[in-house]
Structure 1
Amino acid sequence: MKVEGFVADGYDAVREVFQKLVDEDRETGAGVSVWKDGREVVQLSAGWADAARTRPWQANTLVMPYSLSKAFVTLAALVAVRDGVLLLDEPIATYWPDYGVNGKERTTLRQVLTHRAGQPRFPAEAAGLDLLDDGGLRESLVRAAPEYVPGTSLGEHALTYGHLVDGILRAGAGTTLVEMFNDVVRPALSLDAWFSVPDPALDRVADLEYADPAWPRRLHAAPWLQIPAGALDIERTNSRAWRQAVFGAVNLHTTATAMAQFFSSLTSEDGPVRALLGPQLHADLLASQVTDFDEVFGTRITWTLGFVRDRGKIAKGGIGGSAAWWSLTHGHGCAYLTRRLDDHSRAAEIAVALGDDLTVVGED
């Protein structure tokens, strides 16, 4: 397979690394994008978008990057904070009384957004629910006790993040996650990114595939991803029903170009994220909120309101290998999005070619 696309002067190493990943059969379908000073300086595609290998991966190919989706759930919640209908440090039970039981009476939106709400996975009682039973899964979180006292420990809310924010928006803002994203966030940021992919865009969506059928079982995060069943089952995640559903923690579908452009403007004082949120919330979004051992990641990590941060980058990625980041060192936004579910070594090698390091995730 030949890598298609372009690189500006000075970025040839990115193409060389990407071609090497393809030549070694470590990549079968992916896109790479880098934005610098308001323009795309790298746009590369390789491989196939479908399991039958009939559709070449193109610059506009959409793919599900798993937890990279969470960054946009965060933005939907912060728009409601901007509008004054939610407060970051007010107990969620103020808006959503049913939620404030069994030790969750003082849980706040800030704790949810920084993965300290004590609900990093759906409870055992949700094991019999369908993956797309949105209301049932949300209600299981309402009834459940947290796994730890909210605010006292840290663990990425791997599958629950979107359902928690959706419930808070429904109760406190009179809207839903998908409505806030589609009506406010996506147009404000001019994103080619979708929760519930519309019919005309379905033919752009890439099929996920395993690099190794045993991959789901090898994940450190596997215990947090088992309920409800199906989030790692490519028969489910490649279905039209899944692509047109809203599972906020993981099922945004987007392009490498869209994600790199978004991250390239993430910190800008005259960029669309700051314009969307206002100066104070924009500063809060980017500021380090907590540094601790994240039990789901299995490492020490610094969370902002929705991103991971260290001295060199602000980033978000997802299981399977997709990642996007803003380089604090070099001032570029980057994205590596893949359909081949494996580890993050491929994105890490692209990062090295750019002078970045994806391995350091804690600020201190």
Structure 2
Amino acid sequence: MRVEGFVADGYEPVRQVFQRLVDEGRETGAGLSVRRDGREVVRLSGGWADAARTRPWRDDTLVMPYSLSKTFVTLAALVAVRDGALTLDEPLAGRWPEYGVHGKERTTLRQVLTHRAGQPRFPETAAGLDLLDDRGLRESLIRAAPEYVPGTSLGEHALTYGHLVDGILRASAGTTLGEVFNGVVRPALGLDAWFGVPDGALERVADLEYAHPEWPRRLHAAPWLRIPDGALDPERTNSRAWRQSVFGAVNLHTTASAMAEFFGRLTAEDGPVRALLGPQLHTELLTSQVTGHDEVFGTRITWTLGFVRDQGKIAKGGIGGSAAWWSLRHHHACAYLTRRLDDHSRAAEIAAALGDDLTVVGED
């Protein structure tokens, strides 16, 4: 399989790693982008965009990176805070009374955004709902008691994150997650990224595929991804209906170059994220909020409002192997987006070639 693209001087080891992943068959379709000092210094495309292997991966190929999507759900929620529709620390029940029952009376937006709201998965009562039954899934969260007292434990809200924020936006601001992202966040940041891929961009979307038939059952996060059925099923996630829906926790579709550009400007005081949110919320977004054992990740991590942070990086990954990050040590941004669903070892090898440590970015 061919590798197309370019690397600037000094980044040849990154190309070598990417080429090896493709040559060894560990990668069948992926994009890689690295940005430094405001310019793209690596842009590589390898493998195929479709299961039939007829469409080569291009630098504008869109792919679903699973939980990397949550970053942009966070931004939509913070736009509502910016606009005064709610605050980070008031009980959601004041704006969303239906939600404030069965132990959720004091749940706050900050707890939702830091994965401490006690609803890391949909309840058993939602087991019979269709993956795209947006209202039904949202109402199942309203009716359910939290698995723990909100604020007392930690676990990435693997599939529920977007539905919770969507419910909050509907109740507090009279709008939806898709409307805020596509109408406010995406234009402000200039992103080639979509919740609900438009008709004209569908031909750019890559098909997801398993690296191994047993991949979904090997996941530590499998118990949190079981309901509703289909979120890990390529037959559903490769469908037009899914690609044009809004399932905020996982189904943003974007490119490696777009994600590297976003992370490359994420912390900048003159960047578009700070301009979108204002200085106070931008600082809140990037500040470490909680550190503890995340039951879904199965390890100890630190969450900001929407990112994983440690001394070396601000990052977010997605189940299946996609990841993007800003290197606090080396001041570059990198995005590795793949359609071949496996662990994060490929992105970790790219990171190592850049001098970064990609420990703990997604739900392997």
Is the TM value for this pair above 0.5? Answer: yes
Taking the aligned partners of 1:344 and 1:99, their CA distance within structure 2 comes to: 36
Give 4+ residue runs of structure 1 displaced > 2 Å after superposition.
none
Taking the aligned partners of 1:132 and 1:2, their CA distance within structure 2 comes to: 36
TM-score computed with the length of structure 1 as normaliser: 0.99
Structure 2 partner of 1:356: 356
Identity of aligned residues (%): 85
Taking the aligned partners of 1:56 and 1:354, their CA distance within structure 2 comes to: 26
Structure 2 partner of 1:306: 306
Alignment of 1:201-216 (within 5 A): 201-216=201-216
Taking the aligned partners of 1:144 and 1:242, their CA distance within structure 2 comes to: 25
The residue type equivalent to 2:357 in the other structure is: D
Structure 1 partner of 2:284: 284
Taking the aligned partners of 2:293 and 2:217, their CA distance within structure 1 comes to: 22
The residue type equivalent to 1:280 in the other structure is: Q
Alignment of 1:214-229 (within 5 A): 214-229=214-229
Taking the aligned partners of 2:134 and 2:267, their CA distance within structure 1 comes to: 33
Give the 3-state SS of the residue equivalent to 1:301 in structure 2: strand
Give the 3-state SS of the residue equivalent to 2:347 in structure 1: helix
The residue type equivalent to 1:223 in the other structure is: P
1:118 partnered with 2:118: yes
Taking the aligned partners of 1:90 and 1:191, their CA distance within structure 2 comes to: 31
1:286-323 CA-partner distances (Å, limit 9, x unpaired): 00000000000000000000000000000000000000
1:232 partnered with 2:232: yes
Taking the aligned partners of 1:45 and 1:114, their CA distance within structure 2 comes to: 33
Alignment of 1:241-320 (within 5 A): 241-320=241-320
Give the 3-state SS of the residue equivalent to 1:128 in structure 2: coil
Taking the aligned partners of 1:155 and 1:261, their CA distance within structure 2 comes to: 28
Give the 3-state SS of the residue equivalent to 2:88 in structure 1: coil
Taking the aligned partners of 1:100 and 1:84, their CA distance within structure 2 comes to: 20
1:27 partnered with 2:27: yes
| Runs (5+) with no aligned partner, structure 2 | none
1:36-59 CA-partner distances (Å, limit 9, x unpaired): 111100000000000000000000
Give the 3-state SS of the residue equivalent to 2:343 in structure 1: coil
Structure 2 partner of 1:333: 333
Structure 2 partner of 1:147: 147
1:224-245 CA-partner distances (Å, limit 9, x unpaired): 0000000000000000000001
1:194-230 CA-partner distances (Å, limit 9, x unpaired): 0000000000000000000100000000000000000
Taking the aligned partners of 1:76 and 1:66, their CA distance within structure 2 comes to: 17
1:104-134 CA-partner distances (Å, limit 9, x unpaired): 0000000000000000000000000000000
Taking the aligned partners of 1:29 and 1:183, their CA distance within structure 2 comes to: 30
Distance 1:360 1:167, change over 3 A: closer
Give the CA deviation at 1:64: 0.2
Give the 3-state SS of the residue equivalent to 1:142 in structure 2: helix
Taking the aligned partners of 2:2 and 2:129, their CA distance within structure 1 comes to: 43
| Runs (5+) with no aligned partner, structure 1 | none
Give the CA deviation at 1:359: 1.2
Taking the aligned partners of 1:124 and 1:228, their CA distance within structure 2 comes to: 9
Structure 2 partner of 1:170: 170
Taking the aligned partners of 1:184 and 1:81, their CA distance within structure 2 comes to: 13
Give the 3-state SS of the residue equivalent to 2:337 in structure 1: strand
Q: Is the 8 A contact 1:310 1:360 kept in 2?
A: no
Taking the aligned partners of 2:83 and 2:232, their CA distance within structure 1 comes to: 36
Q: Is the 8 A contact 1:32 1:44 kept in 2?
A: yes
The residue type equivalent to 1:186 in the other structure is: R
- RMSD in angstroms over aligned alpha carbons? 0.6
Q: Is the 8 A contact 1:154 1:294 kept in 2?
A: yes
Structure 1 partner of 2:346: 346
Aligned residue pairs: how many? 361
TM-score computed with the length of structure 2 as normaliser: 0.99
The residue type equivalent to 1:336 in the other structure is: Y
Structure 1 partner of 2:39: 39
1:197 partnered with 2:201: no
The residue type equivalent to 1:343 in the other structure is: D
Give the CA deviation at 1:86: 1.2
The residue type equivalent to 1:82 in the other structure is: R
Distance 1:143 1:360, change over 3 A: closer
Give the CA deviation at 1:9: 0.6
1:90 partnered with 2:90: yes
Give the CA deviation at 1:360: 5.5
1:10 partnered with 2:10: yes
Taking the aligned partners of 2:293 and 2:24, their CA distance within structure 1 comes to: 34
Taking the aligned partners of 1:191 and 1:133, their CA distance within structure 2 comes to: 27
The residue type equivalent to 1:209 in the other structure is: E
Alignment of 1:177-196 (within 5 A): 177-196=177-196
1:270-293 CA-partner distances (Å, limit 9, x unpaired): 000000000010000000000000
Give the CA deviation at 1:97: 0.2
Q: Is the 8 A contact 1:60 1:204 kept in 2?
A: yes
